[in-house]
Amino acid sequence: MARPREFDEEAVLDAAVQCFWSRGYEATSIRDLIEKTGLTGASLYNAFGDKRAFYQRALDHYVKGSIGERIRRCEAMAPLEAIESFLGEVVGRSLRDREHKGCMLVNTALDAASHDPAFQAAVAGVLSRIEAFFLCNVRQGQADGSITTSHAAEDLARHLLGVLMGVRVLARVRPDRALLEGAVRPALALLASDAAP
């Protein structure tokens, strides 16, 4: 019979996220993970597998707690408000990030996914989910008249995804409020319906 785990998996994954997020996949060693999580090497391997598997679990945990929670919060809002809130939260989070860590998903795209097909697929899947969130809200907004029909819903959703990625990359090196809000503002203006007051 397998022994029950003697650690808090959520807390361990939180610690792993912070370690991988601040250092990146390549620069994070197993020793770093042992130090941050408080697990022994044997416990870490038994519970999570090798570093690559542990990174995948940490990335999934990050996405669920960050991007997934943001999407869930915004899904309860009116379409245009949902998009504005989503992007506004990202700008706010970027400005509060004193270590300039950026977004772990974007960091993975730039760091690990370039030479790992599995990570590339994982990142692409999350980006598709974000694009689908934008697309759903744009379509609903076009249907209720709050979002312009001057552009195809698919193009607007892709544009919003591009703006989001740009903001997250800019925030790594230049987390300036005017810059980040200035990148988002025209995208939101582009959505405005001609019929809106």
- Confidence at residue 4, expressed as pLDDT on a 0 to 100 scale: 45
DSSP bridge pairs for 192: 147
The answer to the question of residue 34 being in a domain is no
**Mean pLDDT over each residue of the chain, to the nearest integer:** 91
In a domain, 11, yes or no: no
Mean pLDDT (whole number) for 7-25 = 91
Tokens 């934008």 correspond to 134
* 80 located within any domain: yes
Q: Is residue 16 part of a domain?
A: no
The answer on pLDDT for 22 being more than 60 is: yes
Q: 56-106 pLDDT, tens per residue?
A: 999 999 999 999 999 999 999 999 999 999 999 999 999 999 988 889 999
- Torsions phi, psi of 138, nearest 5? -65, -45
Q: What is the pLDDT of residues 112-152, one digit of tens each?
A: 767 889 999 999 999 999 999 999 999 999 999 999 999 99
Other beta carbons less than 10 A from residue 9's beta carbon: 12
Please state whether the predicted TM-score (pTM) of the whole model is above 0.85. Answer: yes
CA–CA gap between residue 61 and residue 89 (Å, rounded): 19
Confirm whether 31 is domain-assigned.
no
Residues 29-46, mean pLDDT to the nearest whole number: 91
Give pLDDT, residue 116: 87
Cα–Cα nearest to 102, from 85, 90, 117:
90
**Which residue range(s) make up the domain with 145?**
62-191
55 falls within a domain: no
Domain contains 21: no
C-alpha to C-alpha distance for 59 and 122, rounded to whole angstroms? 9
CATH code of the domain covering residue 71: 1.10.357.10
- pLDDT at residue 195 in the model: 54
The answer to whether residue 37 sits within a structural domain is no
**Total domains in the fold of the chain:** 1
pLDDT band at 5 (very low <50, low <70, confident <90, very high): low
| Burial track 114-133 (b if 16+ CB lie within 10 A, e otherwise) | eebeebeebbeebbeebbeb
